[in-house]
Amino acid sequence: ESFNKITFSLGGRSSRYFSKPGYNINIKGGKKLFGRSQFKLRSDSTEPTYLRSKLTSDIQQRLGLKAIAANYATLYINEEYMGIFILMDKFKPSWIEEEYHEKDTPYLYKCDGKLNNESESICTNENEDIVDNTEFNEFIKSLNTAQSIDEINQFFEVEHFIKEMAIEYLIGSWDNFQNQNNFYYYKQPNGKWIYLSHDFDNTFGSNIDRIFVEYIPDDHGKYPGRINELANDHYPYSYWNDNIEFTSVKTVTYFAYGIKYWILAKYRFVCKEYHLICDATFLNENYLYPVNKEIEFLGYDNDIKNDQPTNILFNTAKSSNNPITAETEKTKTNDTVISSSTTTLPSTTNTIKTVPSVNIKSVPPLKVSKSKKNKCLAELVGYPCCSKEITTIYDHDEYGDWSYDFSEKQWCGITPLDESLLTSNVESCWSEVLGYPCCLRCKVYETDSNGSWGYESNHWCGIPKYCNQYNNNNNNNSNNSNNNNNNNNI
């Protein structure tokens, strides 16, 4: 179809700063397309896959919730190809008319703030002709004074709201109700108000601004739809291809979990936390999935190396990056490796930044094999001990000192392990009787009358006895360092 009178404008707020902006379309003269007169063409500038908004819209539609629809559209302006966009409804009076058969509704409010005593000043009516907001103000007051769910349910769609909150929780949405953003309230013809949400690009583990790009430049090397040529927010194809699967990738200012990784992790957590009947295939801790190590990125932190193992419950792997900043010719001697590049420590990361509040008891305790004789702390997490010729220390963590075996292209451990402590721990894991496995790692988050506690694989776990050796060594080293500093100051 073609339309003679339309309004075509830039859309969004922060998305205008990216190279490929979104647009708003308003069809004038009473004309409609697919029963709608107002649309958004979203470039989804906060995520690399172009799937998150569409997935969420499909989930809402599948559950029968009142929500805007989404699909894909190719945009041309004056026959110039501008790229693929996400075509979406807008919560406007025209949408209300199509969904509720109420023309020019005076009861649709857009809110950029939490629902509280000040909401009447934070929320604005989408009908510009309406100046009397008495009914909306009364709605806010009723919410604040209600004493029970039954009372609220008399004037607000509570079940619908709970379902929306469940969706936002499961997909990890941080830019909607939890962030006091991207939602509306509408008073339906039945007299009840309803919560309406939109804009779900910051979901499924995507927590920073990103832009989806298409990957074929024109003859001048420019990508379709890019207007701000100073912006540096382009993605290679591999980012899209792997981030829709299980690989977490680096974004403009942080990172985005792989979509399927997020779904699997959230599925497991919810199944165990709320004791749901779930598919054992995906609960199996040995369930494997592919990760592209060449582009994988998990953020910036200092506890766990920048690596994500293919078993979703275990995250103790060392970085796949070696300690050399670039590929250079190396000359091997008996003692170390001499490189023409500058030696730097690998970047580090940790997906658990604070002590979690969850309490899951349903997984079996982790066991350390009795048949294998462990000679160094690194073997506890699947890494070999360094040979006697390798002595250069590149990193240090709760498993002691680490070096890098360039011939094998892998990390190796230097700090030895007292096997008597390990054997004692295998025979009697003190936290098992409390329903918790023993930790593989030695990092202590909490200590109580039972002992010291760590947190691994989305579970609390007991710090094993062999960690005492490491912790005591660390304390002694710290004390020696302090004494040396004091001696230097005298």
pLDDT of residue 475: 53
- Per-residue DSSP letter, 384: P
Q: For 277-318, how does the pLDDT look when each residue is reduced to its tens digit (9 = 90+)? A: 998 888 887 788 888 888 888 765 433 333 333 333 333 334
pLDDT of residue 432: 84
What are the angstrom distances between the C-alpha of 141 and each of 116, 146, 367?
Answer: 8, 9, 57
Average pLDDT, the chain: 74
Confirm whether pTM is higher than 0.75.
no
Question: Among 436, 471, 476, 474, which residue's Cα sits nearest to residue 456?
Answer: 436
26 burial type by CB count under 10 A (0-12 exposed, 13-18 middle, 19+ buried): middle
Average pLDDT estimate for 367-377: 52
Tokens of 212: 């989806």
pLDDT grade for 220, boundaries at 50, 70 and 90? low
Tokens of 188: 């339906």
Q: ∠ at Cα 366 (355, 359), nearest 5°?
A: 35
pLDDT of residue 223: 65
Of 10 and 486, the one with more pLDDT? 10
Inter-residue long-range contacts of 405-411, CB under 8 Å, 24+ positions, other chains counted: 406/322, 406/330, 406/332, 406/337, 407/332, 408/384, 409/322, 410/318, 410/383, 410/384, 411/318, 411/319, 411/378, 411/383
Res. 334: pLDDT tops 50: no
Backbone φ, ψ for residue 156 (5° rounding): -145, 140
pLDDT of residue 252: 64
Res. 66: pLDDT tops 70: yes
**β-bridge mates for residue 89, sequence order:** 39
Residue type, 38: Q
Q: For 78-121, how does the pLDDT look when each residue is reduced to its tens digit (9 = 90+)? A: 999 999 999 998 899 989 999 999 999 999 999 875 555 555 56
